[in-house]
Structure 1
Amino acid sequence: MDHHLSNVLPVPASVRRNTLVRRILLWSVVAILIGACGVTILSLINAQSGATATGLGILLSAVVVGIVVPAFLWVDRLEREPTHLLLFAFGWGACVATLGAAFLNDAGGYLLGATSDNNSVVAVFVAPVVEETLKGLPVLLIWLVARRELDGIVDGIVYAGLSAAGFAMIEDVIYLSNGYAEQGDAGLFHTFFVRVTMSPFVHPMFTICTGVGIGIAATARSWGPRIFAPLLGWLCAIGLHALWNAGAVLAESGWLAFYIFLQVPLFAGFIGILIAARHSEGHAIRVNLTPYVDQGWLSTPEVRMLSSVRERQYARAWAKSHGAEREMREFQDAASELAMHRARIERGAADTRTVREERALLDLVTQRRQQFLGTALYRWPDLVA
């Protein structure tokens, strides 16, 4: 056992209460901001296209949520992020980012002399900068305000992806409602096919670059990567977004070629990044939990199970059949969080709070694993996360 685990100071009750009050006030303000922006952007859409068109747009754009959000929750299976932060990222993208983009894109176009007949200027030179900044901002805020909940590249990807998914959903409402208002059913379903069916991951493909950059910064030991990794990720997001929009503008008469030679390779690369990121997180969990095997807190088969999505699923199914599914989930979640705490300690963040939380997680892991010791739970083949 590490010697620092024995020197844990209790947190005064007054400090806990004050912290709780500040958190409630902060999240109340955030909820009001997101809600007000959401009501405003939907009111603007309704005023432009009408209630029927807006309702149809909302209904059909929900397909984006049903496709994209589960994909990022799949990436987030090993070390799940807090629900309130996931909702914050999605809500910011859907409400704050879309409303901000609606005004800033117009302002940027006006400054560049763009007209309604020359929207390509806005699409290529203004929208990528404005939208990628606004979509990436919640990830930056989470890193700055709730740093303990952003532990690496996977977390950055998940938060960025959900922010972009929210943005894409409301942007699709705008296009779908306009399509219906201008051309009826034909315009609605043509827009649905092009924007929702054929390219639901467009915005997340760009914004995860910013998430990767912030994720790298979150685990960096020096100031160089902390500054330049997010900046480089943001610039990559803008560049990909501008390339995409430029391709769309140039390919108005050759949409199929644009889809095959640009959209398909980008989507393949996007899927590859998601798979590699989840595999990397499994490796990180295995590496960071291994010291606890040496100290006697965990066993090697447990670490193998905890670092593999497949084996976690098997363990939960086994536990469910024995009436202990909740205990197994808590064991897995606490162990994943413990691995992230160990990573922070290894990076030199061995402050009192981190050590106290590590000990609490160790106690929870020890308690939850007791009923599984000596059972036929753990399988023994080579495990792949």
Structure 2
Amino acid sequence: MKDPVETRADDSEDLYDIADWEPRTALDRLAIRTYRGILRAGRRFVVALGVFILLVILAVSGAGGLIIDDPFILGLAAFSAVPAGVLALYIYRTDITTREPPGLLLATFVLSVLFAGFAAIINTVFGFVQLFPLVGIVLFFYLVVGPVEESVKLLAVWLYPYRDSRFDSVVDGAVYGAMAGLGFAAIENVLYITQNLQTPASVLLQTSGGLVGGVTETIQAGGQIAAVRGLAGPGHVVYSAFAGYYLGLAKFNRENAGPIVAKGLLIAAFIHATYNTLVGLVPGLVSLLVPGVPVLVLFFGFVVVYQGVFLYILYRKLKRYEAAYRQAHEGAERASEFEVEKTEFDPATR
């Protein structure tokens, strides 16, 4: 889009600082450096704020102290993150273009861990939505939890890897989105497990007779919630892989970047909120139809089926990209095979 003056002006006219602009003077270059400095400072502030909020949450919730007293909790958290990690690894390996640098993947993971605190604060502030009769909890999932958590995970991708030149294909967005989902699931698992453990390791060691007893008691106390979180974690990977894919699509379609990012967030937030809504209802309702089957078994079944459906949809989307990529490159290779060097006997191309 051009200004009316620039549209009608002759190409020979100099419209610098009138209807066009480019860096020419020292002040222009200072303006560019100032702008970039503000952006860098803003990103660093967001990261620092994320660190601060996460530390406060760990301190206030008691999770930090419990982890210090009982480091085996981190082992349970790591165990619970294995399914999500395997899924993130699978999405990473579906990238047919180039392998993403480990440094960028690790940075995305860490940023998502840090930014989970933003989601915790916002979810708490708007927790009053749950007080609305009948539909309060559903509104809370669809208007708060889903959009907020998917946004902070996407923020981890946008803040760093998205701006890197090595983020060079649409499918890279799904890879980094999956890594952000893994980071969010990891810290969420830590918080859930610590909330469900009542006895710190110092007490366990005294009552159970040594280090082995402490490990055993910790596993017994937190094993069930770790297993539950192990099934819930892959959902975060799937949701944010969808949002990340559309962020990648937006990077290469700048004229419609905003709506494309919004579409990805709407999809991810809807899948996320629907899961949160149904996971507390469906297993109980099914247990009424099939009495005798433990609700926990039905819960596991629902999670596997629900997440499996959307994982398959994501799989199809990634496969479509792979097919398009192969077709484009095979076409280019076939065209190059027919290109031969011209000689003096060949007619000139007009």
- Rate the CA distance shift 1:284–1:187 in 2: closer, same or farther, 3 A: farther
Range that drifts further, 152-161 or 51-60? 51-60
Opposite residue 266 of structure 2, the aligned amino acid is L
Gap runs ≥5 in structure 1: 1-14, 297-385
In structure 1, the residue corresponding to 2:198 is in which secondary structure? Answer: helix
**Residue-pair matches, total:** 272
Tell me, in whole angstroms, the C-alpha distance in 2 between the residues paired with 1:168 and 1:130. 14
Relative to structure 1, the CA distance from residue 292 to residue 243 in structure 2 (aligned partners, 3 Å threshold; closer, same or farther) is same
Structure 1 SS opposite 2:71: helix
Q: Select which of 221, 230, 238 maps to 1:205.
A: 238
Distance 1:36 1:71, change over 3 A: farther
Matches within 5 A, 1:223-302: 223=255, 225-253=256-284, 254-255=298-299, 258-259=302-303, 261-284=305-328, 286=330
Read off the aligned partner of 2:312 and give its amino acid letter.
A
Given the two structures, how large is their TM-score scaled by the length of structure 2? 0.63
Deviation for aligned residue 1:194: 1.8
In percent, how many aligned pairs have the same letter? 22
CA distance in 2, matches of 1:236, 1:124: 11
Q: For 2:124, which of 94, 99, 106 is the aligned residue?
A: 106
- Aligned partners of 1:34 and 1:91 also within 8 Å: no
CA contact (8 A) 1:248 1:258 kept: yes
Amino acid at match of 2:249: I
Cα distance in 2 between the residues matched to 1:155 and 1:201 = 18
Equivalent position amino acid for 1:141 in 2:
L
Report the Cα offset of residue 149 of structure 1.
Answer: 3.1
CA drift at 1:76: 3.7
Matched, 1:148 2:156: no
Secondary structure of residue in 1 paired with 2:98: coil
Matching of residues 345-360 of structure 1 within 5 Å: none
d(CA) in 1 for partners of 2:68, 2:164? 43
Structure 1 stretches of 4+ moved >6 Å: 25-31, 288-296
- What's the counterpart of residue 250 of structure 2? 217
Cα shift at 1:240: 0.5
Give the residue type in structure 2 aligned to 1:138. Answer: A
CA contact (8 A) 1:165 1:204 kept: yes
CA positional deviation for 1:235: 0.5
Rate the CA distance shift 1:243–1:78 in 2: closer, same or farther, 3 A: same
Identify the residue that residue 82 of structure 1 maps to in structure 2: 101
Indicate conservation of the 8 Å contact 1:142/1:150, yes or no: no
CA displacement at 1:177 relative to structure 2 = 1.8
Instruction: Give the equivalent residue in structure 1 for 2:177.
Output: 160
1:169: Cα distance to partner?
0.6
Contact 2:142/2:270 (<8 A) preserved: no
Once residues 69 and 40 of structure 1 are traced to their aligned partners in structure 2, the CA distance between those partners, rounded to angstroms, is: 29
Pair 171,264 (structure 1): closer, same or farther in 2 beyond 3 Å? same
Hey, what's the Cα distance between the residues in 1 that align with 2:327 and 2:60? 47
Task: Give the superposition deviation at 1:94.
Answer: 1.2
Partners of 2:191 and 2:146 lie apart in 1 by 18
Report the equivalent of 2:5.
Answer: none
Deviation at 1:263, TM superposition (A): 3.0
TM-superposed deviation, 1:127: 0.8
Cα gap change, 1:114 to 1:51, in 2 (>3 Å): farther
Match of 2:191? Answer: 174
Partner of 1:357: none
- Indicate conservation of the 8 Å contact 1:132/1:237, yes or no: yes
Give runs of aligned pairs for residues 61-100 of structure 1, distance below 5 A: 61-63=77-79, 64=81, 66-76=85-95, 78-96=97-115, 98-100=116-118
1:193 corresponds to: 227
Distance 1:41 1:72, change over 3 A: farther
In 2, Cα distance between equivalents of 1:263 and 1:35: 31
1:281 and 1:67 map into 2 onto residues whose CA distance is 25
Aligned residue in 2 for 1:60: 76
Deviation at 1:73, TM superposition (A): 3.0
Distance apart, 1:80 and its partner CA: 2.2
Change (3 A) 1:188 1:28: same
| Amino acid in the other structure paired with 1:241 | H
Q: TM-score, normalised by structure 1?
A: 0.58
Stretches of structure 2 that go unaligned for 5 or more consecutive residues are: 1-28, 200-216, 285-297, 341-350
Equivalent residue in structure 2 for 1:134, among 140, 152, 162: 152
Instruction: State the AA in 2 paired with 1:176.
Output: I
